Amino acid sequence: MNFGLMTLLGLFIISLPTSNAGANQMSKHYHGTLNLVIGDSDCLIAATDSRATINEISNGSVLATKFEDKHQKLFVVADNIVVTIAGYGNAEVPAAPEFTAPAAAIILDYAEQLRNGNRIPTYNEVVHTLEFLLTFNLTSVANINAWSSGQIDARNYEFHMIIAGKINGQYVITKVILSMKLNGNNKDGYYVNSFASTYRQKIVSGFTYETAGLDDVAIKMLNDIVKINKAMSCDAIKSTIESIMEKTNKSHEGVGGPIQLAIFSKDNLSILSPKFERPIGPRIKHSLFVGGGFTDVKQAVVADSPFLFIATTFNNAGVILDKNYFFGSNFDNCNIYVSSDAFYLHQSNKMINCKLFIGSKVNLKSHNLKNILRYFKRDDIFLESTKR
């Protein structure tokens, strides 16, 4: 058994060589734009806009671009810990819509779990947990879209995150950029993994800042603040940021909507932001297996996981399809079992010399079953009970 990467995307266009990757489908990619965190040892302010740039994409090309000024980009995850996001916000997954999950929803779900569990995490725990959750989501979404469309533009999935809080009584700012890289080979299949291409943590002493998203726009704002007076009071910095962001909203089409602010001052945290509609969180809680494979095992996949398998190799193995998802995977000399209609076997998978065992409760006229019968010869299809 060769275990793949359980959670592990790039800054270049990736073309997956999948000859049977399926028809191109229209999808929408949402991108946030502007973050700025600035302050000193007495005061720290995080600021974002509320605009999302929405690209409608088909066959790797942007067909249309529009803007929405109603997206939350600033979040209080735990007591005195704030997160801002830019870049990837959400990507629709036409092949498996249940995997569509905005980054905002993932962060809000995590914050809610902390509150419900009455847990106060450390600053570094929040940083690393969010990095894990978001790389997991990006890897899942990007691979499904890549294998169902045959190509991927990694720029659609770059994600910027700034986390502000305290360690041992000192303000600290951490910037994380999640990017993509291509893995695998032509024989077993290619896949993309999300990883932290940038991880930078700063203890705030004196004038300190981080920017994300449209860095050139944020740096210009920062320079305008410094020109006025970088030794301003917290209230003066807040007023200056609001004034400059309002001007930026009018002068740059990628920036707009209400300003979202978090203000750390002494032991207080104040949030100045409109209320946003809560985005729908992940509709499926799944495990992820990317690359690698299983050889000479009686039962490689259990039912009711559910698992998402990407570019995984199954050789001389028993594989249960029920409630699991398979993209770009290879099955050689395997026994394939189905006992329900609830499974997803995308046409990017390949099967050689496999047998299909159909449980007695499976609807023989179901769409899912009809779609997979093409993989098997008539003599390799068996009707049986669900008992193994």
pLDDT in tens, 226-252: 666 556 778 888 888 888 888 888 888
- Mean pLDDT for all residues in the chain: 84
Task: Give the helix/strand (H/E) hosting 132.
Answer: helix 123-149
Q: Are residues 194 and 319 in the same domain?
A: no
Euclidean distance between CA atoms 95 and 148, whole angstroms? 6
Q: Are residues 248 and 303 in the same domain?
A: no
Q: Are residues 244 and 325 in the same domain?
A: no
Instruction: Give the 3-state secondary structure percentages of the chain, helix then strand then coil, rounded to 5.
Output: 25, 40, 35
Range of the domain at 265: 13-272
CATH code for the domain in which residue 174 is found? 3.60.20.10
Q: Are residues 224 and 365 in the same domain?
A: no
- pLDDT score recorded for residue 227: 66
Domain boundary (221, 241, 272) is at 272
Whole-Å CA distances, 151 to 97, 145, 146, 215, 377? 18, 8, 5, 28, 30
- pLDDT score recorded for residue 117: 87
Euclidean distance between CA atoms 39 and 166, whole angstroms? 13
Q: Are residues 149 and 201 in the same domain?
A: yes
CB atoms within 10 A of CB 290: 23
pLDDT in tens, 175-219: 999 999 888 877 777 888 999 999 999 999 888 888 888 777 778
Q: Are residues 259 and 329 in the same domain?
A: no
Q: Above pLDDT 90, what percent of the chain?
A: 44
Q: Decide if 284 is inside a domain.
A: no
Cβ contacts of 287 within 8 Å, gap of 6 or more: 6, 305, 306, 307, 308
Q: Are residues 205 and 243 in the same domain?
A: yes
pLDDT in tens, 113-147: 999 988 889 999 999 999 999 999 999 999 998 89
Type of residue found at 6: M
Q: Are residues 193 and 68 in the same domain?
A: yes
Q: Decide if 4 is inside a domain.
A: no
Closest CA relative to residue 57, chosen from 87, 27, 30: 27
Q: Are residues 200 and 77 in the same domain?
A: yes
**Dihedral sign (CA 361, 364, 370, 373):** positive
Q: Are residues 186 and 312 in the same domain?
A: no
Domain boundary (203, 238, 272) is at 272
| Number of structural domains found in the chain | 2
The whole-number average pLDDT for the span 20-43 is 69
- pLDDT score recorded for residue 154: 78
Q: Above pLDDT 70, what percent of the chain?
A: 87
Task: Give the helix/strand (H/E) hosting 223.
Answer: helix 215-229
Q: Which two tokens stand for residue 144?
A: 């499904």
Closest CA relative to residue 341, chosen from 358, 318, 356: 358
Q: Which two tokens stand for residue 348?
A: 């990017």
Q: Decide if 279 is inside a domain.
A: no
Between 320 and 35, whose confidence is greater? 320
- pLDDT score recorded for residue 297: 93
Helix or strand or coil: residue 104?
A: helix
pLDDT interval class at 325 (50, 70, 90) = very high
Domain boundary (272, 305, 337) is at 272
Q: Decide if 1 is inside a domain.
A: no
Q: Decide if 7 is inside a domain.
A: no
Whole-Å CA distances, 350 to 331, 340, 374? 6, 21, 11
Whole-Å CA distances, 30 to 157, 174, 258, 341? 9, 23, 17, 33
The whole-number average pLDDT for the span 356-384 is 90
Q: Decide if 125 is inside a domain.
A: yes
Residue 55 has pLDDT above 80, yes or no: no
Euclidean distance between CA atoms 90 and 383, whole angstroms? 42
Are the C-beta atoms of 324 and 339 separated by less than 8 Å? no
Residue 152 has pLDDT above 80, yes or no: no
Q: Decide if 278 is inside a domain.
A: no
Residue 304 has pLDDT above 50, yes or no: yes
Task: Give the helix/strand (H/E) hosting 110.
Answer: helix 103-116
Q: Are residues 188 and 257 in the same domain?
A: yes
Lowest mean pLDDT among 49-58, 135-144, 192-201, 276-285: 49-58
Q: Which two tokens stand for residue 282?
A: 């992940």
Closest CA relative to residue 348, chosen from 94, 146, 64: 146
pLDDT interval class at 74 (50, 70, 90) = very high
Lowest mean pLDDT among 60-69, 282-291, 340-349: 60-69
Which range in 19-28, 33-42, 106-115, 201-210 is most confidently predicted, on average pLDDT? 106-115
- pLDDT score recorded for residue 52: 84
